[in-house]
Structure 1
Amino acid sequence: MTVDLGLSAQHSGDVETSQILATVNLGGSRTPPPGYEVVNAIGFYKMHPTALTMDEGREKCAQEGAHIIVLNSDNEADVIRTFLARKPNIPHANSQEYTFVGLHDWIDEGKFISLLGEPVENSGFNRWRAGEPNGGRNENCVMVDKDTKFVDIDCNWKLFIVCELYDL
């Protein structure tokens, strides 16, 4: 992180006005791959308007140095809402209303973790729809709709995905 400070002063009669200008660079100078955009000033995201399984989506995001979005806050939930509101019709998708999020219970049934290995309880965003998770061994991936409540689902469903870059 770098901070550049500047000071300017003006005198007019008996009044002196000072102004401090600060420019803060958090080190996020990375140029995102084509199609990524900054959403809510929290990160780079890209919607892939193609029907993909969870594995296909993971591979697509990984090719871009990213991962399927992992919700860590209400601000990131707003990212999902933003993309759901403007997405086109997705041919061959199991649902037009949902997208995968980067959670699964592949390793230990019923214990959902993020694609980054963090338990959902520690992620900063852990909101399940009433009655979820309920899929047992048949539903090991997670999707959300505009209400951004988690629903466990079969990983072979085809949904659109949102990729998230690891860092700015």
Structure 2
Amino acid sequence: MFRSFVYMKMDCREVNALLSSIFFLLCNTGSVFATDRSSSFHRRENVNLTQLQPFVLSTTTTVNEIVCLAHCLDSVLCVTAGYNGNDKSCRIYSVSPSPNDSGDTVTTQIKFYRRKATCQEFGYTAIVNTSECYKIHPTALTKTGASKECQQEGGHLIRITSSHMLESLIVDIDYLGLLRTYLYIDGYRRQGETIWRFSDETIMTFLHWNIGEPNGMNHTNPEDALILGNGFFHDAPQSFEIRFICQRSIF
């Protein structure tokens, strides 16, 4: 019986990625990839490419889209993978793609896949009874630096919206020995106002203040940022360099 073989030139990195991609099952009808790591990639059409650009984690050249998806699985931050069949470029992103309703043109040569995974695969912990995850960062940053770090990971500072959510979070924080550690959470107030808002401008309705808080509205260095400490909310200057909690969704 006659058999033909196709040879491809690959470096060691691509060989390793290709071997890991053996665990993928390509379903021709559903365009869904499944793996032995309980992850999957769902094909996304009509993607807003402009929205994804600021969140590129890396760009590489791969032999095919299977290897590209393997690269995404190897990154704890990767949410979306885009493979260009023309130049064989593979870009991985830290956010989920939004529908392309801005009129931007997306070439048909780029195939986008959104990763489906658990919080733990991204180094996060699940928020009880939600599709959201959180992570306490060990690095101390200012409020601006903390917000940027969370955005780079595809999320934002954690938005505590209920007593149930706070109580669950406090249990985890106490278990880690961080109950008395000050942590940035999402929330700010505009100069001269007493209303507190999340960074998306939603007005906050749950505020679990410590006794005597908030107390920094009229300080020389206004305390217009929100921090969590010992289970209560405190106002604080945005210039403080402290640890923080990020929140992101599982997709």
Q: How high is the TM-score relative to the length of structure 2? A: 0.46
Inter-partner Cα distance in structure 1 for 2:199 and 2:122: 23
From 202, 207, 215, the counterpart of 1:126: 207
Aligned residue-pair number: 131
50 and 164 in structure 1: CA distance in 2 versus 1, 3 angstrom threshold: same
Q: Which position in structure 2 is the counterpart of 1:52?
A: 141
Match of 1:111 in 2: 195
Indicate the residue corresponding to 1:74 in structure 2.
Answer: 163
Rounded Cα–Cα distance in structure 1 between residues aligned with 2:241 and 2:169: 17
* Residue 166 of structure 1: how far off its partner (Å): 4.4
- 5+ residue gaps, structure 2, are 1-114
Equivalent residue, structure 2, for 1:39: 127
Deviation at 1:82, TM superposition (A): 3.7
Larger Rg: 2
Establish whether residue 136 from structure 1 lines up as the match of residue 217 from structure 2: yes
Q: Is the 8 A contact 1:40 1:75 kept in 2?
A: no
- Name structure 1 gaps, 5 residues minimum: 1-28, 90-95
Q: What does the per-residue CA deviation read over 1:90-112, in whole Å, with 9 as the maximum and x for residues that have no partner?
A: xxxxxx62111101013653221
Bigger relative contact order, structure 1 or 2 (CA pairs below 8 A, ≥6 apart): 1
Question: 1 CA distance for matches of 2:181 and 2:125?
Answer: 22
CA deviation map 1:36-90 (0-9, x unaligned): 221324221111111111111100000011010011112321343144224478x
- Separation of aligned partners in 2, 1:83 and 1:99: 13
Report the equivalent of 1:152: 235
- Name the one with the larger strand percent: 1
